[in-house]
Amino acid sequence: MSEKSFRKSEDFERRWFASLLWGAFPEARSEHELSEMAADVLSSDRRPVHPRTVRNWLRCENAPHFRYVPQVIALAGAESVFQLIDPEARKCG
């Protein structure tokens, strides 16, 4: 895989995760509110997640560790995985 292809794929995955976060917390009205909510839900005693980290994910500046991906998928709904598998797939309705 070329560097350009790798970067394009990585950018897509970061955008997908950012959109997944918005889907997991539809009640959030702002980036700040979403980052606070997500940090609270994703934090554990051993691994705190800071709101700044979530903001970096939302802005596609950093990629999340895989440990957070299944948690956010569960919150957003399993159908969100299909966006990653088939980016051309659209919801009906």
Domain map (residue ranges) of the chain: 3-85
pLDDT tens digits along 35-51: 999 999 999 999 999 99
- pTM of the shown model: 0.80
Selected residue with higher pLDDT from 92 and 61: 61
The mean of the pLDDT values for the chain is 87
The C-alpha atoms of residue 72 and residue 93 are separated, in whole angstroms, by 24
CA–CA separation, 91 and 76 (whole Å): 14
Mean pLDDT check: name the lowest of 15-29, 34-48, 50-64, 68-82.
68-82
Contact 38, 21 (CB under 8 A): yes
Give the confidence band of 90 by pLDDT, cuts at 50, 70, 90.
very low
